[in-house]
């Protein structure tokens, strides 16, 4: 009896909020020297999250296709099939808040990022957001530093940077002279 040779699959893809893994992410291993096969279809892993590490793949519609070797000579059974989900890179943008002169350089900016998967819980905070000086002006540069992500899904993302820049206005403070 000649049994099919077990095939190993390994692959990784960027977080997308699903457990689906497409054939194109995988590398086939444990083939007879000089033989190649192709892979079609898709499978799934148990968790959508990055923290899960290398996860066992459920083959679903994954199928081996002839290359220089015959697909019928190989099987998933007996091999290892794993996929890893990697963090999705995101950039956080700051929007400055105009304010009335108050004698300090702090600005209560708003932080947001595009690219967060719908339904994910991720929020952003900053260590500081400051104007270059406390004086009245229009379109003043605001430097934002110490940006961090938090929330139940924050671990599925990687920040492209922890600083951002924006602009905002400081308007004169109204006073009453008696």
Note the pLDDT tens digit of each residue in 45-104.
999 999 999 999 999 999 999 999 999 999 999 999 999 999 999 999 999 999 999 999
Structure tokens at 39: 């892979």
Return the pLDDT at 136: 98
Note the pLDDT tens digit of each residue in 134-163.
999 999 999 999 999 999 999 999 998 899
42: confidence class by pLDDT, cuts 50, 70, 90: very high
Return the pLDDT at 139: 97
Return the pLDDT at 59: 95
Taking the model in full, what pTM does it have?
Answer: 0.86
- CB-count burial class (<10 Å; 0-12, 13-18, 19+) for 161: exposed
d(CA 7, CA 80): 7
- The full DSSP string for the chain is --PPEE-EEEEEEE--SS-EEEGGGEEEESPPTT--EEEESEEE-S-SSGGG-EEEPB-TT-EEEESSS-GGGEESTTS-EEEEEEPEEE--EEE---EE--SS-B---EEE-S-PPTT---EEE-SEEEESSSS-EEEEEEEEE--EEESTTGGGEEES-S-EEEEEEEEPPP----
């Amino acid at each position: 009896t000649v049994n099919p040779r077990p095939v190993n699959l390994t692959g990784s893809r960027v977080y997308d909020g699903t457990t689906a893994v497409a054939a194109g992410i995988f590398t086939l291993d444990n083939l007879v020297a000089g033989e190649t096969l192709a892979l079609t279809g898709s499978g799934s892993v148990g968790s959508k999250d990055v923290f899960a590490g290398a996860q066992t793949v459920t083959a679903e519609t994954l199928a081996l296709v002839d290359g220089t070797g015959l697909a019928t000579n190989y099987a998933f059974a007996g091999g290892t099939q794993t996929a890893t989900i990697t963090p999705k890179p995101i950039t956080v943008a700051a929007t400055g808040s105009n304010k009335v002169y108050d004698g300090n350089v702090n600005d209560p900016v708003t932080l947001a990022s595009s690219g967060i998967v719908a339904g994910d819980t991720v929020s952003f905070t900053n260590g500081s957001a400051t104007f270059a000086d406390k004086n009245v002006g229009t379109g003043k540069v605001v430097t934002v530093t110490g940006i961090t992500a938090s929330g139940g899904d924050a671990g599925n993302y990687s920040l492209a940077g922890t600083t951002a820049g924006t602009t905002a206005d400081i308007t004169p403070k109204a006073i009453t002279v008696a």
